[in-house]
Amino acid sequence: MGANAPGCKAAATAAAAGSQKPWLFVGLGNPGRMYKGTRHNIGFEMIDAIAEAEGISVSSKQFKAMVGKGLIGDVPVMLAKPQTFMNASGESVGQLVSYFKIPLNQLVVIYDDLDLPFVKLRLLPKGGHGGHNGMRSIIDHLKQSRDFPRLRIGIGRPPGDTGVISFVLRSFTKQEQEELDFTLRRGLQAVRIILQEGFNKGATFVNTPQPSETLNT
């Protein structure tokens, strides 16, 4: 009996994971090489960072999105990058949520935010679209529900006379990319905390100022 215990436990874990609804993490961006590495695609970069760290292949096309499925710890997850272009992201997200019966409190949308300082993270359980067209589209396709978590990644405001559109479609400098890589690692930590310890613990981790932030305020 004892010799079979590990196998039984693994089977029980797999069965439990099978009965759980997956968490759906959606990163927003624009498809195509010309948009790769731009500020507006920071949501895609976060999904890529999670996928690489957790060994999840985001390579199947479903409901107008590149999708990957796997486990983080023992929790089933789906990672998605809508390929509809930013302003129509809801077409993809709405179908994914509906088909896979994702509870809205297990849908986490990750996107760029002009109103946060560069690389600052903010994790909230719900809210409006804040003028972000991708989020506006998602809310529209979820029957105007705003009750789903979102991880916002700051890209800062355009400098000087730079227009918003040209700014969000601009690539990062080498120094900015290094700062961003650190923030993506922190975002990955937050995702793991959400899944293993609960959303509130994840939000506390993300939203508590780091020592460097308190020095700058």
CB 129 within 8 A of CB 105: no
Q: Does the active-site annotation cover 132?
A: no
Q: How far apart are CA 88 and CA 140, in angstroms?
A: 10
SS3 83: coil
Q: How far apart are CA 153 and CA 39, in angstroms?
A: 10
Tokens of 176: 């900015």
Which amino acid is it at 84?
A: T
Burial class (CB in 10 A: 0-12, 13-18, 19+), 206: buried
Half-sphere exposure of residue 13, counting CA atoms within 13 Å on the CB side? Answer: 12
Catalytic pick from 40, 129, 132, 141? 40
Q: How far apart are CA 134 and CA 58, in angstroms?
A: 20
Q: How far apart are CA 75 and CA 194, in angstroms?
A: 10
Look-up of token digits 């972000």: 132
Active site residues: 40
